[in-house]
Amino acid sequence: MDLIVATPQGLYCPPGGFHIDPWRPVARALITHGHSDHARWGSQAYLCQTDCAPILRRRLGDVSIETLAYGDRIDVNGVTVSLHSAGHVLGSAQARLEYQGEVWVASGDYKTEADGVSAPFEPVRCHVFITESTFGLPIYRWRPQAEIMAEVNGWWRENAAAGRASVVFAYGLGKAQRLLTHLDPTIGPIVCHGAIEPMNDIYRGQGVALPATRRVSEISGKDAFAQALILAPPSAAGTGWMRRFGDYSDAFASGWMQIRGNRRRRGVDRGFALSDHADWPGLIEAIHATGAERIYATHGSVGALTRYLREGGLDARTLHTEYGEEEAESGASEEAAP
């Protein structure tokens, strides 16, 4: 019997009687992280890593949440369940399931480069590994984070010297806080869209040191933003909300910026290829580190990844899921916040 199977509600563990990141309401949901394509409202009970719980409460409201620290184990109907760091965002976890001597791991979303914010990725040995493959093409190879952040700070410094505001579009959970941690606050004030600041508060509450930030709504006058760096969700691009900044340069921080044409389609001045997902070498490294005999690739470039793995002698298959991109991870009500 397979320990994890695909159902109309999502990935399901038959002996345990629970789902992993279900896309429809279920009785019991194990959640790998707080992005809304993986953590959806409506289930009766949720299980997540300890640091993820405040994010779920912010996103889902007053729901029943049980938490588990990294590495701790619980028994669910005879299935031993533990959560292990995925390195994706605060509280992100891989789900390890052990039953009758067989171990399966569902990765959720992950990255292998330590970012100084989320707990570093932990390889987990298993028989079967279900891996994301968002950037599962050889073209995606990230430069070191320090190099990218030096470029972000250099771009901001040039804009500030010219009296221009710097607007960076970034996903409100994870990417924004990662940028904040590595920005140089001596360049100027750091200002955040109202959809991002609540997540900053959660990160601070979980012990993550972020520089001082202000909400855009707390500042008035175009000249007040002349040396500022403004963090905003992608949905703010091209809206009337942007007019308050006067002269500005804008940028998008995403792994998709690795492809030059994506920057042109976004219509931004700069693209910074900073991703919270593993690149091609990271995916291959993570998969081999599990020692898994069977690999399931899901959401992303599954075809290229599975072909490569099969050519290397692995039993690699595809698995259909309804997970998407972080563009959808901020709810409409949050994104409307000033």
The verdict on 9 and 130 lying in the same domain is yes
The verdict on 12 and 132 lying in the same domain is yes
Domain boundary among 272, 292, 314: 272
Could you give the number of structural domains in the chain?
A: 2
- The residue written with tokens 């984070």 in the block is 145
Report whether pLDDT(115) > 90. yes
The verdict on 109 and 174 lying in the same domain is no
pLDDT band at 208 (very low <50, low <70, confident <90, very high): very high
What is the percentage of the chain residues whose pLDDT exceeds 90? 88
Pairing of strands 190-192, 229-232: parallel
CATH number, domain of 242, equals 3.40.50.10890
> In one letter, which amino acid is 225?
F
The verdict on 101 and 127 lying in the same domain is yes
The verdict on 223 and 299 lying in the same domain is no
pLDDT at 324: 78
The verdict on 37 and 162 lying in the same domain is no
| Inter-CA distances, 63 with 55, 90, 195, 257, Å | 12, 19, 21, 36
pLDDT band at 325 (very low <50, low <70, confident <90, very high): low
pLDDT at 264: 79
The verdict on 154 and 238 lying in the same domain is yes
Q: Count H helices, E strands: the chain?
A: 8, 19
The verdict on 85 and 188 lying in the same domain is no
Q: What is this structure's pTM?
A: 0.94
Domain boundary among 272, 296, 323: 272
Report whether pLDDT(105) > 90. yes
From first CA to last CA, the distance across the chain in angstroms is: 51
The verdict on 194 and 255 lying in the same domain is yes
Report whether pLDDT(121) > 70. yes
CATH number, domain of 312, equals 3.60.15.10
The verdict on 67 and 12 lying in the same domain is yes
The verdict on 53 and 128 lying in the same domain is yes
Domain that holds residue 69: 5-139+276-335
Arithmetic mean of pLDDT over the chain: 94
- The residue written with tokens 């620290």 in the block is 69
The verdict on 268 and 292 lying in the same domain is no
* pLDDT tens digits, 126-154: 999 999 999 999 999 999 999 999 999 99
* pLDDT tens digits, 245-279: 999 999 999 999 999 888 777 889 999 999 999 99
In sequence order, what DSSP letters do the residues of 249-300 get, joined into one string? EEEEESGGGGSHHHHHHHT-SEEE---SS--HHHHHHHHHHHT-SEEEEEEE
